[in-house]
Amino acid sequence: MPLTGHLRELRNRLFRSALAITAGAVIGWIYYDEIFRLISQPFLDVVAEAQEAGRNVQLTLTGVADPFILQLKVVLVSGVVLASPIWLYQLWRFVTPGLHRHERRWSIIVVAIATPLFCAGVALAYVFMPNALDFLLGFTPESVSNFVDVSRYVSFFLRTVIVFGIGFLLPLFALMLNLAGILPAKTLINAWRWILVGIFLFAAVATPDGNPITMTMLALPIMLLLTIVMGIAWLHDRRKGKRAEENAIADDEMSSIDEPTPLDGSGSVDSPSSVD
């Protein structure tokens, strides 16, 4: 495919992804109140506990245009999340256009698994969000009221849940690279110590409160998923190696040579005549 063909392909993939995100954003706009109630619920739980402890913690909006900007932000992120199966598939199909038919089936399966994995990471972040908020807001002095801007809280919430969701997708990306023949299983297995350190560093940066318990609860599922990915990648590479051995030709074996086509159409090739 020439460069212009690749550009047209990229344009079509981006256009389909944009349509899917727009449709998801429309759904987010319709159900904005329910979505915002879901986002603000962890903070409201912390507010109830703070009031029982005699602390004043509230969500506030300070600007005239802040409510509209807040709704746009929530709606756009909702569209990206709802359309994630579509734009993930479009991205994967653009990156790997030369896959065989059975590999394309794998790509569809991988994209189908990506959505529940991302949702699992988001759910884990949502479960631990009240603990993180209570830990961070607990540093507020007793004589000080804590008025948290809603936009900053929503940004904090979205950043946390998206990072947790991406953390659950990292092992899946490693599997996709292995299926594409880019990342061998041997490389993953040999580098498991560095991968373990990288997972805990990622968990330490991703957790908003810096709590070791929260960090460990994020790192353990990623480690488990990566272990499963290593096993699948090892089986895939082993099967691929066996297939290559079956199709390979030994050093002392002659490769098949097609019979020469007769020039006279008689079905046989005359032996060369001797020259006097």
- At residue 266, the pLDDT reads 53
Residues 141-156 have pLDDT tens digits of 777 777 888 888 888 8
Mean pLDDT of 220-232: 87
DSSP state, residue 54: T
Instruction: Using CA atoms of 185, 187, 189, 190 in order, give the dihedral in degrees to the nearest 10.
Output: 160
Token representation of residue 229: 């990915």
Token representation of residue 261: 């086509």
Residues 33-73 have pLDDT tens digits of 999 999 888 888 888 777 666 677 788 888 788 888 888 98
More confident residue, 111 or 98: 111
DSSP state, residue 182: S
- 12 residue type, one letter: N
Q: Where are the domains of the chain?
A: 3-244
Residues 203-215 have pLDDT tens digits of 887 776 666 777 7
| pTM of the model as a whole | 0.68
DSSP string, 70-128: HHHHHHHHHHHHHTHHHHHHHHHHHH-TT--HHHHHHHHHHHHHHHHHHHHHHHHHHHH
